[in-house]
């Protein structure tokens, strides 16, 4: 695992964006595995800026997203489809037909998961997968204890996740209780993995995930076994690591 230290979130975002832009430049028709949430927002902002300056061309690039809430339509502001379009896709020249996000409105969970997995295979696999890191070591919606061998699957969100997400919805009843997510096996099949972490609040889990034992109770710990992983983290997030 390669570890790149940044002074703060802004520098972390720029360094991570450099890695993604290099992938796009070296292989214009690459397949990017993308993530949502607050962590990658700075990366998307930087990539948009470079695109607008003429430094990047996404016209041949394809993307596959990690996850999506089950039951949220594309026009729901809390759906990951909406997030990706508002924060990245509509600002660059990637073809909408080349962006793939699990279908949250597919009522058949098994079909939704199988379809997403099939898309990844048809594209020839993911060249670079972007990941964030949860406070409990989760990646995607793969919570502690999830078997490492799982492919794309439907998960029941934990009560703590539902409560944390409730701030984005008008009432608790509106918060999704399930999501479709790439499994650990799917993530590990990516040719390269880029994981980003910032903030002192993540320091303990960074140390546990990347310097502790590989166990299902810390899902991200499996990344230690991948042949090409780059961790880009700010000084605060790395403050408890034996570097």
More confident residue, 140 or 161: 140
Is 222 contained in some domain? Answer: yes
Q: Tell me the mean pLDDT in the region 210-215.
A: 97
Query: Which entry of 65, 67, 103, 165 is annotated as an active-site residue?
Result: 67
Is 137 contained in some domain? Answer: yes
Query: Which entry of 18, 87, 136, 207 is annotated as an active-site residue?
Result: 136
pTM: 0.95
pLDDT score, position 56: 98
Task: Determine whether 151 is an active site residue.
Answer: no
Q: Kindly report the CATH number assigned to the domain that includes residue 193.
A: 3.40.50.1360
pLDDT score, position 209: 98
pLDDT score, position 235: 97
Task: Determine whether 136 is an active site residue.
Answer: yes
Task: Determine whether 153 is an active site residue.
Answer: no
Is 240 contained in some domain? Answer: no
Is 241 contained in some domain? Answer: no
What does the pLDDT look like over 16-65, one tens digit per residue?
Answer: 999 999 999 999 999 999 999 899 999 999 999 999 999 999 999 999 99
What does the pLDDT look like over 224-242, one tens digit per residue?
Answer: 999 999 999 999 999 999 9
pLDDT score, position 159: 85
Q: What is the DSSP letter of 140?
A: T
Query: Which entry of 68, 98, 103, 138 is annotated as an active-site residue?
Result: 138
Alpha helix positions (H), 27-144: 41-52, 80-87, 109-122
Structure tokens at 171: 């009432």
Is 75 contained in some domain? Answer: yes
CA angle, residues 201, 20, 150, in degrees to nearest 5: 65
CA distance 218 to 226: 15
Is 39 contained in some domain? Answer: yes
Is 54 contained in some domain? Answer: yes
Task: Determine whether 143 is an active site residue.
Answer: yes
What does the pLDDT look like over 153-208, one tens digit per residue?
Answer: 999 988 877 887 888 888 898 899 999 999 999 999 999 999 999 999 999 999 99
Domains in the chain, number: 1
Query: Which entry of 143, 153, 165, 234 is annotated as an active-site residue?
Result: 143
Task: Domain of residue 53: give its range.
Answer: 2-234
Alpha helix positions (H), the chain: 9-26, 41-52, 80-87, 109-122, 159-165, 184-188, 203-211
pLDDT score, position 69: 95
């Amino acid at each position: 695992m390669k570890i790149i230290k940044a002074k703060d979130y802004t520098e972390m975002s720029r360094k991570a964006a450099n890695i993604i832009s290099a992938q796009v430049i070296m292989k214009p028709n690459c397949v990017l595995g993308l993530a949502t949430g607050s962590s990658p927002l700075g990366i998307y902002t930087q990539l948009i800026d470079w695109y607008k300056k003429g430094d990047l061309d996404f016209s041949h690039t394809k993307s596959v997203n990690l996850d999506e809430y089950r039951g949220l339509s594309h026009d729901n502001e809390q759906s990951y489809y909406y997030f990706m379009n508002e924060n990245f896709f509509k600002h660059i020249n990637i073809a909408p037909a080349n962006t793939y996000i699990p279908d949250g409105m597919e009522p058949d969970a098994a079909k939704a998961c199988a379809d997403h997995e099939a898309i990844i295979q048809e594209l020839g696999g993911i060249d670079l997968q972007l990941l964030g890191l949860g406070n409990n070591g989760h990646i995607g919606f793969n919570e502690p204890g999830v078997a490492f061998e799982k492919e794309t699957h439907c998960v029941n969100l934990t009560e703590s996740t539902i409560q944390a997400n409730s701030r984005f919805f008008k009432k608790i009843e509106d918060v999704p209780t399930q999501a479709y997510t790439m499994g650990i096996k799917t993530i590990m099949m990516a040719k390269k993995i880029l994981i980003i972490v910032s903030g002192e609040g993540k320091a303990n889990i960074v140390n546990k995930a990347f310097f502790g034992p590989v166990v299902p109770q810390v899902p991200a710990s499996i990344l230690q076994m991948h042949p090409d992983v780059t961790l880009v983290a700010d000084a605060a997030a790395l403050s408890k690591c034996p570097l």
